[in-house]
Amino acid sequence: MSKDIRIRKGLNINLVGAAEQTTSKAVTSNVYALNLDDFHGITPKMLVKQGEEVKAGEPLFYNKNKEEMHFVSPVSGELVEIVRGARRRILSLKILADKTQNYVINKVPELDAADGQVIKDFLLQCGGWPFIKQRPYDVIADPDMTPKAIFVSAYTTAPLAADADYILKDKEKELQTAVTALSKLTPGKIHVSIGKSSRSAFANVNGIELHRISGPHPAGLVGTQINKIDPVNKGEVVWTISPQDMVLLGELFLTGKFNAERTVALAGSVVKAPKYYTTKIGAEISTFLYASGVTEERYRLINGDVLTGAKTNTEGYLGFYNNTVTAIPEGDDYELFGWTKPVFNKISTTRALTFSWMMPNKKYDLDTNTNGEHRAFVVTGQYEEVFPMDIYPLQLLKACMVKDLDEMEQLGLYEVAPEDFSLTEFVCISKQPHQQIIREGLDLLQKELG
């Protein structure tokens, strides 16, 4: 029996250019890249030298603080470049793909007989581990910890993001395998949230606690669901994993192969024919971007959705965790009397001569203009309207800014990830960088107490 959760507070950002639910196969990419920024807080130690050949699923580097944790190559080929930044920090790894792919075939443990440690070792060894993230701190899960529960959100509310129901279609077998494996890692439950009336592949999966969730964004963010189902307390750990990555883990357990293939939504008002593509982690974005076509010369290309994604460009590569690529117009233009004239073409939560409240179903074509300058926090009560967690968002942000560790802890920083503050950032009148503030707060807390 599933449990119903209804989220009242929030805001749906309806944008033009949602991906049509048809999937094409993207042109095979020549070069694949792993962007190290995707693995927050990981210091890489290389296992492969530049110029060496790797198979798909072969470890490229490991985590300096946790040597068993391997990060594997999505494809087979030659490691052609280790891109380094200041102080020789590794920024990304580029692999020139072979024409025919060779996979590492891992020896899969017997799932029913295996205990948690065996599963853990297997995932760490063959590159499946980095898909599991943890709260607190929103980083790759620490394998030494035991989570009280694992949370999966298969409900999509983020603007233009890949629809979970669609990309999980016919993946029941992989999901079931992944659930069976993950359930060995926690004595608690695996909570999966799906849309209220969705026909998700999860509906028939055994061994999970199914929640049916409804309401506006951020109802689909796993952080919101954790807060409503079983919030994180000090000292507790929960793990999260995206359903698409579960499919990859499921396949890893079924076949022993690390198959980096995934379905990606290409969306945004700049894209001529927004739709889904199958491609691989780290593929060149241009391999499918130009297949759909773009309508403008200058635009913002985003690895992820418009609220939480990372800025990239046409030479960029698909991120490790992403299944959405968005292209929206750049907004670096001036607007005459933009601060006072009535606004019909932008989204606002107020009604101060902004009229989006009159047209809740209208789809908007937003650009990247900030619509105002950065200011100190002035207006209050605005974040609470779009922030469904039982947390005081403004007070938590301020605690992070002044680096008050006690207050950060007490106000619930353990429960949140930067993405949970993406909507408050969107509505912020003072144009404060909420996600960055929370990220820095989490890093500080982890450094001091973690």
Partner 1 sequence: MKDKLHQLKLKYQGKKMAPAFGAFHTFLYTPNETTHSGAHVRGADDLKRTMNTVIMALVPCLLFGMFNAGYQHYSAINGFPESFSLMDDFLTWKNFLVGITTILPLVIVSYGIGLGIEFLFAVIKGHEVEEGYLVTGMLVPLIVPVDTPLWMLAIAVAFGVVIGKEVFGGTGMNILNPALTIRAFLFFAYPTWMSGDKVWVHGAVERAGTPDAISGETILGSLAQGSDYSYSLSDMFYGFIPGSVGETSTFLILLGALFLMFSKIASWRIIISGVIGSLAMGLIFNGIVDAGWLPEYSKFYTLMSFPYWQHLLVGGLAFGIVFMATDPVTGSQTNRGKWIYGFLIGFLSVMIRVFNPGYPEGVFLAILLMNVFAPTIDHYVVRGNIKKRLRRLKTATIYPKASDEVDSLKTETA
Within positions 236 to 255, which residues make up the interface with partner 1, using CB under 8 A? 236-237
Residue with Cβ nearer partner 1 (318 or 427) = 427
Which tokens belong to 337? 């009397």
Is position 358 an interface residue for partner 1 (rule: CB under 8 A)?
A: no
Region of residue 345 (left: phi > 0; alpha: psi -120 to 50; beta: else): alpha
Name the nearest CA neighbour of 270 among 57, 94, 15.
15
Question: Torsions phi, psi of 145, nearest 5?
Answer: -90, 155
Interface positions, 29-68, toward partner 1 (CB under 8 A): none
Q: Which is nearer to partner 1, 31 or 399 (CB)?
A: 399
State the minimum distance, in angstroms, from the CB of residue 237 to partner 1. Answer: 8
For residue 422, the minimal CB distance to partner 1 (Å) is 5
Does position 307 interact with partner 1 (CB under 8 A)? The reply is yes
Query: How do 66-72 and 59-63 pair as beta strands?
Result: antiparallel
Q: In this chain, which stretch among 71-79, 137-145, 217-225, 282-290 interacts with partner 1, using CB under 8 A?
A: 137-145
Instruction: Show the CA angle centred on residue 380, arms to residues 228 and 445, nearest 5°.
Output: 55
Considering only residues 291, 368, 444, 446, which one is a binding residue for partner 1 as defined by CB under 8 A?
Answer: 368
Q: Could you say whether residue 354 binds partner 1 (CB under 8 A)?
A: yes
Piece of 40-48, 102-110, 315-323, 329-337 that binds partner 1 (CB under 8 A) = 329-337
- In whole angstroms, the minimum distance from the beta carbon of 172 to partner 1 comes to 30
Site membership for partner 1, residue 187 (CB under 8 A): yes
Distance CA 350, CA 53 (A): 56
Q: Are strands 133-135 and 44-46 parallel, antiparallel or unpaired?
A: unpaired
Residue 13 in the binding site for partner 1 (CB under 8 A): yes
Q: Which two tokens stand for residue 37?
A: 């920024």
Round to whole Å and give the CA distance between 121 and 83. 29
Q: Is there binding between residue 376 and partner 1 (CB under 8 A)?
A: yes
> Residue 7, interface with partner 1 (CB under 8 A)?
no
**Number of residues lying near partner 1 (CB under 8 A):** 88
Calpha distance 73→68 (Å, rounded): 16
Rounded (10°) angle between helices 393-401 and 434-449: 60
Sites for partner 1 among residues 147-176 (CB under 8 A): 147-148, 159
Q: Name residues contacting partner 1, limited to 380-439 (CB under 8 A).
A: 380-382, 384, 390-392, 394-395, 410-412, 418, 422-423, 425-431, 433-436
The answer to whether 375 contacts partner 1 (rule: CB under 8 A) is yes
Q: What angle do CA 284, 290, 294 make, to 5 degrees?
A: 125
For 330, left (φ over 0), alpha (ψ -120 to 50), or beta?
A: beta
Question: Minimum Å distance from CB 183 to partner 1?
Answer: 15
Q: How far is the CB of 353 from partner 1 (least distance, A)?
A: 7
Which of residues 235, 358, 361, 402 is near partner 1 by CB under 8 A? Answer: 235
Single residue of 80, 91, 273, 353 touching partner 1 by CB under 8 A? 353
Judged by CB under 8 A, the residue of 90, 118, 343, 444 near partner 1 is 343
Both tokens of 247, joined, read: 């499919």
- Residue 56 to residue 43: CA distance in whole angstroms: 22
The residue (of 278 and 354) whose beta carbon lies closer to partner 1 is 354
Q: Does 145 bind partner 1 (CB under 8 A)?
A: yes
Minimum distance between the CB of residue 31 and partner 1, rounded to whole angstroms?
Answer: 25
Helix (H/G/I), strand (E/B), else coil: 233: coil
Q: Are 317 and 340 in contact (CB under 8 A)?
A: no
Q: CA 319, CA 130: separation in Å to the nearest integer? A: 13
Which residue of 86, 113, 358, 378 would you call a contact of partner 1, by CB under 8 A? Answer: 378
Q: Which of 86, 110, 297, 337 forms a contact with partner 1 (CB under 8 A)?
A: 337
Dmax (CA) for the chain in angstroms is 68
User: Exposed e or buried b for every residue in 369-396, given b needs 16+ CB within 10 A?
Assistant: eeeeeeeeeeeeebbebbbbbebebbeb
